[in-house]
Chains A and B, each alone.
Chain A
């Protein structure tokens, strides 16, 4: 059975039995592009697909979807289709108490890697795998199999990460401070402050973003270089120990800002210092937080 058929069958079952209120998966839009879809009835399950264009990190939709109702009643469980990278985001969100484990039915798909241009152009379906280069993050991926799942689709395999000819991060971190600053200011200069990076990120789920307060407390409203720099560097720090490297921020960016370099640099530092990679395993709480007594799990 193809992955698409397996996902459809599982979604249908979950919706028929009422185990979940909705399955968040992928569908193919009229232009042949993969995109997120929210299926709420068993009949709708036939819309679900899987192919190498399923690039979006659907875990990003979970915190809002699973937020308690106005009277505090818990939201009904949802099913979600995840790749290995996306599944790590679920572990981080669980550690941060964004929702309860029983509120998600994780449909994990063993992932062969996602193609460049996925989401923005039409890519052949699962039956006839598309040709073309994989995204760099997929070439670096050592997981392939989701680290958390209730239903696993596909045979687990551990593909060693491909050897990338050159990691731009090495070149960048080898530069002096002034050169690095010049490089980043040139990149940030293109930013429009459209917040596509933040909105696509599963970890950026603050109800009010620090950088977007009406009272300009920490950062003004201006779309100028100084504000853009503060936004990007601030966001990177807030993702330290949390970013799972799905690179949706970078894919969503219309201006080709290499946001992932910042996130990966911090992930490297965290791994060196603490031997920790965000979301790889369930942990009781976030890494970069000290909880005082009574501030633990609710």
Chain B
């Protein structure tokens, strides 16, 4: 296997950060986040602890807020006058390298790809960012207490969704290129040929995950209302989820000078847990109850999405389990469906 020694890794990352946008786990106020880094020293390598950043890598392709259009009212003296508007799209440009992406986060990108790219028309904003990105994965030596990636088709050393995978070894990081993009990134890296294979990760016991067809009979289950009683209807679980991809679109006024009128069309993250999410014109809300909303969250991940795209929209990262203020636990939901 080819290995990057700690110093070779440092030099390589520094070189990448010099000419390109490098995003990597970085600690900020005690929180591990994916942030732009200027050099390898800023990166938080979490060592043996398979600690993933609080927010997933999805924000690199699907930012919390994104401008879709700039809308400008034409001045009165232009042909057509003030009754006409000019629309200009603002597509993202540039390349980015995402380092230290855990397999669960990378698998989340597969879900986003399906939703944003698989069916025509592809989402051009997502597509640009996705095509301009190279993912460098980092295998987790072991699974954390709330991780269940292995039970939803992934694994702590699964390299299928990255361009290049790194595995922690005794003398540095074993390197496994997965795509041409990943291979190209290694040009100039100082690789050491070493005996042996990249280490496999330690696994924890799998949890029961119901088949996608097991869900519909539970649609009217009183379980949803009971569990949802303590739900706060915040959006935390969706915003820290590597696969949640709902957004809202709105036109908002921008400050403008010289009597010009400017607006932008933005899209922002949204969450089905929030009360206004499903409200429709006239004020009716088909998911007015917390139980209905929470049910949608889990049906979406394990029934609706698999029906449409053939795979689950949960990567077992365990973030929602760690962070829910009132302990709504996705594994408890799954086990309810399996064992009742």
Contacts of B60 in A (CB 8 A): none
Interface contact A31-B329, CB-CB below 8 Å = yes
Cβ–Cβ contact B327 & A199, under 8 A: no
Interface centre among B65, B232, B235, B332 (most CB of A within 10 A): B232
Q: Which of A38, A61, A256 contacts B30 (CB 8 A)?
A: A256
Residue in B229, B235, B252, B279 whose CB lies within 8 Å of A194: B235
Which residues on the A side are within 8 Å of B322 (C-beta)? 120
A-B contact pairs, 14 of them (CB 8 A): A33-B327, A38-B226, A61-B229, A194-B235, A194-B239, A196-B232, A198-B234, A199-B232, A200-B232, A200-B234, A220-B266, A221-B252, A222-B65, A256-B30
B54:A254 contact, CB within 8 angstroms: yes
Closest to A254 in B: B323
Stretch in A10-18, A166-174, A185-193, A284-292 with 4+ CB within 8 Å of B: A185-193
Q: State A244–B185 Cα separation when bound (angstroms).
A: 54
* Contact of A221 with B327 in the complex, beta carbons under 8 Å: no
Q: Compute how far the CA of A193 lies from the CA of B250 in the bound complex, rounded to whole angstroms.
A: 16
- B28 part of interface (Cβ distance < 8 Å): yes
CA distance A255 to B55 in the complex (A): 9
12 further interface pairs, Cβ-Cβ under 8 Å (given A119-B327, A196-B325): A31-B321, A31-B327, A35-B230, A36-B229, A36-B326, A37-B230, A61-B230, A199-B233, A212-B276, A220-B252, A252-B234, A254-B55
A222 touches B266 (CB 8 A): yes
Interface residues of A in 45-76 (CB under 8 A from B): 56, 60-61
A194 engages B230 (CB within 8 Å): no
A161 contacts the other chain (CB 8 A):
no
Interface flag for B206 (CB, 8 Å): no
Shortest beta-carbon distance from A268 to chain B in Å: 23
For residue A251, CB closer than 8 A to chain B, the reply is yes
A residues at B contact (CB < 8 Å): 29-31, 33-38, 56, 60-61, 119-120, 186-187, 190, 192-196, 198-200, 212, 214, 216, 220-224, 248, 251-252, 254-256
Q: Is the interface of A mostly helix, strand, loop or mixed?
A: loop
CA–CA, A214 to B234, complex, Å? 17
Pairwise interchain contact B54-A255, C-beta atoms closer than 8 A: yes
Closest to B145 in A: A31
Which residue on chain A has the smallest CB distance to residue B322? A120
Complex Cα distance, B229 from A35, in Å, reads 11
Q: Is the CB of B269 within 8 A of A36?
A: no
Interchain CA distance A258-B103 in the complex, whole Å: 31
Q: Are B276 and A223 in contact, with the CB atoms below 8 A? A: no
The answer to whether A256 and B31 touch across the interface, beta carbons within 8 angstroms, is yes
A242 vs chain B, min Cβ distance (A)? 19
Would A223 and B325 count as touching, CB distance under 8 A? no
CA distance A220 to B250 in the complex (A): 9
B111 within 8 A of A: no
B89 within 8 A of A: no
Chain B residues, Cβ within 8 Å of A199:
232-234
CA distance A192 to B327 in the complex (A): 19
Encoded as 1 (CB less than 8 Å from any A CB) or 0, chain B from 223 to 245 comes to: 00010011011111011100000
Does residue B310 face the partner (Cβ distance < 8 Å to A)?
A: no
In the bound complex, residues from chain A placing their C-beta under 8 Å from that of B229 are: 36, 38, 61
Contact A29 B236 (CB under 8 A): no
B-side contacts of A212, CB under 8 Å: 276
Q: How far is the CA of A195 from the CA of B231 in the complex (A)?
A: 13
Tell me if A193 and B64 are in contact (CB < 8 A).
yes
Residues of B at under 8 Å CB distance from A? 28-31, 33, 54-55, 64-65, 226, 229-230, 232-236, 238-240, 248, 250, 252, 266, 268-269, 271, 274, 276, 279, 321-323, 325-327, 329, 332
Which residues of B are found within 8 Å of A119, using beta-carbon distances?
A: 325-327
User: Given that A36-B326, A195-B235 are contacting pairs, would A29 and B332 also be in contact in the complex, using a CB cutoff of 8 Å?
Assistant: yes
Query: Is there an interface contact between A195 and B234, defined as CB atoms closer than 8 Å?
Result: yes
Docked CA distance A223–B65 (Å): 6
CB distance from B53 to the nearest CB of A (A): 11
Question: What chain B residues lie within 8 Å of A29 (beta carbons)?
Answer: 327, 329, 332
Q: How far is the CB of A142 from chain B (nearest CB, A)?
A: 26
Q: CB distance A195 to B274 under 8 Å? A: yes
Q: Is the CB of B236 within 8 A of A221?
A: no
Contact of A192 among B55, B248, B274, B321 (CB under 8 A): B55
Residues of B within 8 A of A200 (CB): 232, 234, 325
The answer to whether B266 touches A221, judged by C-beta atoms less than 8 angstroms apart, is yes
- Nearest-Cβ distance from residue A48 to partner chain B, whole angstroms: 14
Write the chain A residue with the least CB distance to B59: A192
**Residue in B closest to A38 when the chains form the complex, CB atoms:** B229
Q: Specify which chain B residues have a CB less than 8 angstroms from the CB of A30 in the assembled complex.
A: 329, 332
Q: How far is the CA of A187 from the CA of B30 in the complex (A)?
A: 12
In contact, B326 and A56 (Cβ under 8 angstroms): yes
- When distances are taken between beta carbons in the complex, the residues of chain B under 8 Å from A187 are 29
- Give every chain A residue within 8 A of B323 (Cβ-Cβ): 120, 254
Q: How far is the CA of A35 from the CA of B326 in the complex (A)?
A: 6
Q: How far is the CA of A221 from the CA of B29 in the complex (A)?
A: 26
Residues of A within 8 A of B327 (CB): 29, 31, 33-35, 119
Are the C-beta atoms of B230 and A223 separated by less than 8 Å? no
A13 vs B236: C-alpha distance when bound (angstroms): 37
A120, B240: Cα distance in complex, Å? 16
How near does chain B come to A173, taking the closest CB pair, in angstroms? 19
With A30-B329, A254-B236 as given contacts, are A38 and B230 in contact (CB-CB < 8 Å)?
A: yes
- Give the nearest-CB partner of A189 in chain B: B28
Q: In angstroms, how far is the closest chain A Cβ from the Cβ of B204?
A: 14
Give Cα A60 to B269, complex, Å. Answer: 26
Q: In the complex, what's the smallest C-beta–C-beta distance from B328 to chain A, in angstroms? A: 9
CB-CB < 8 A to A36: which residues of B? 229-230, 326
What separation, in Å, do the CA atoms of A290 and B240 have in the docked complex?
41
By Cβ-Cβ distance, the 3 closest A-B pairs, closest first, are: A223-B64, A199-B232, A252-B325
Q: Of all chain A residues, which has the CB nearest B270? A: A221
Residues of chain B contacted by A56 (CB below 8 angstroms): 325-326
A190 to chain B, nearest CB (A): 7
